[in-house]
Amino acid sequence: MATDEKLHFVVLPFMAQGHAIPVIDFAKLLAERRDVIVTLLLTPVNHIRVKPILDRSSDRGVRIPVEELAFPAQEVGLPAGCENLDLVPSSPLMVNFMAATAMLQPQVEALLRKMRPEPRCLVADTCFPFASEVARKSGIPRLLFHPMTCFTYLCSHHIVTSRILDTVSDEFEYFDVPGMPHETRFTRSQVKGMADPETPGWVEFNDKLIENEKAAFGLIFNTFEDLERTYLREYEMVRQTRVWSVGPVSLFSKELGDKVSRGKSSTVDVDQCSNWLDAQEPGTVVYACLGSICNLTSSQMLELGLGLEASGRPFIWVVGFGCGDEDTKKSLQELLAENGLVKRVSENGRGLVIFGWAPQVLILSHRAVGGFLTHCGWNSSLEGISAGHPVVTWPLFADNFYNEKLLVDVLRVGVRAGVKQSMDYGKGRDVGIQVRRDDVRNAVEEVMGEGDEREARRKRAAELAEKARKAVEEGGSSHANIGKIIEEVRKFNKDSS
């Protein structure tokens, strides 16, 4: 390729909010570099969701064109328009959804063939194993974007390769993860979402993940060097591939409109939310959100809400519903109405309850917020870190318990709510109530109250936020790594031409 030719990156985000949000942020960061062109591949529904943020980017002179992929929902037995994980009607249909994503390969190949200028790199989420073959056929490098923390992947690697779970029979027996740079302990229940060979289909999935990584030109993590340097270098060594940290990508969204429209449209009036926060004292508000695919039982959700109320602290509670489960949504709304919680906290000004999607980055960055109750998804965890808040941890499934371990035991900025058991995705009913309202109240007090230990936790959180901010500034590690990625891809194309 010509030395002055702009590099064309094609970016393929996975159709789930926790995956798509950081990948699209990364696409924006690439597009801001003057020697790069970026094209996004999105399905129609997901295109609509991110159009506001792309329009804002275009208004600032950073245009990111979109090529649409027809999502074969009905071909696999899903409703028309079911193009995102949070729209899947029930957990058993998750298999159908994943089958539909695999069927996108021919479309992606056809689009890459016709694009001009020719694509020079494919950036794909780890949930698209077929992207390896697409890149190989196109003769271009593929960058694999990991949506989870490097700590999680390193732990899972050592658990799997050591076969330590063969020696652990009890679900709640703690074991030490071999090979980690410091003592790291889990129970079998906590890791089964990421590293349990007894889960049907898990071994085959893990084998695909390893092959997916081996074939990649390099791995990208939404994290930063001062947070995970040890794990990044260790993972680079055990996987024998390039590893770059480029986050926290949420911190690159500095304007109000970007924070509001990040992800999808808010279901609450932003001015109402801001005005409520403006009326609170600095550092007094607890923000509670268990993610976009939370589906705990209605009774467990009520315990959470009553615990927030009992804490005596002002709070914002975002109530999300996973799997598009209308029965759970209706049941919870009826239970909350019967209890009167929403009406009470609204009338006395103590709380703001939001059903659906909230502008999380905007809320976390407000001076009134002083603590964050989170499900420990990596996006949320990193957004909490970036805002400098100590956290109450309430892990649900998948990587959540790994992130809890990092937040509470390694970084020491978190307090556990008391969840002991990981639930299978979509099976909150099988677990029942794990955390009572008194547990919530006590954990909130531990994060928000006074005392030397609590002040030390807040100080550590503030120091991490400062390091995160420096990482994304010009000259910082994440800012520099984006430049290194571009140069490595340019060198590959130059050497292969």
356 and 429 inside one domain: yes
369 and 288 inside one domain: yes
Which positions of the chain have pLDDT values less than 50? Answer: 324
What three-state secondary structure class fits 476?
coil
Q: How many domains does the chain have?
A: 2
* C-alpha–C-alpha distance, residues 373 and 341, integer Å: 18
Q: CB-side exposure of 70: number of CA atoms within 13 Å? A: 6
pLDDT of residue 263: 52
240 and 271 inside one domain: no
pLDDT of residue 327: 65
How many other β-carbons are positioned within 10 Å of the β-carbon of residue 418?
16
Is residue 256 included in any domain, yes or no? no
Is residue 291 included in any domain, yes or no? yes
487 and 466 inside one domain: no
358 and 309 inside one domain: yes
pLDDT in tens, 150-193: 999 999 999 989 999 999 989 899 999 999 999 999 999 898 87
Give the number of residues written for the chain. Answer: 497
Q: Which domain holds residue 237?
A: 7-251+473-491
What three-state secondary structure class fits 470?
helix
213 and 122 inside one domain: yes
pLDDT of residue 421: 85
pLDDT of residue 435: 95
49 and 62 inside one domain: yes
Burial (CB count <10 Å: 0-12, 13-18, 19+), residue 2: exposed
pLDDT of residue 252: 77
Residue 187 Cα to chain centre, angstroms: 23
Is residue 257 included in any domain, yes or no? no
371 and 232 inside one domain: no
pTM above 0.85, yes or no: yes
CB 393 within 8 A of CB 470: no
Domain of residue 233, CATH code:
3.40.50.2000
Q: Which amino acid is at 125?
A: D
CB 144 within 8 A of CB 219: yes
pLDDT of residue 335: 87
123 and 68 inside one domain: yes
∠ CA 328-330-334 to the nearest 5 degrees? 115
100 and 197 inside one domain: yes
* C-alpha–C-alpha distance, residues 26 and 43, integer Å: 18
Q: Which amino acid is at 100?
A: A
204 and 337 inside one domain: no
Is residue 2 included in any domain, yes or no? no
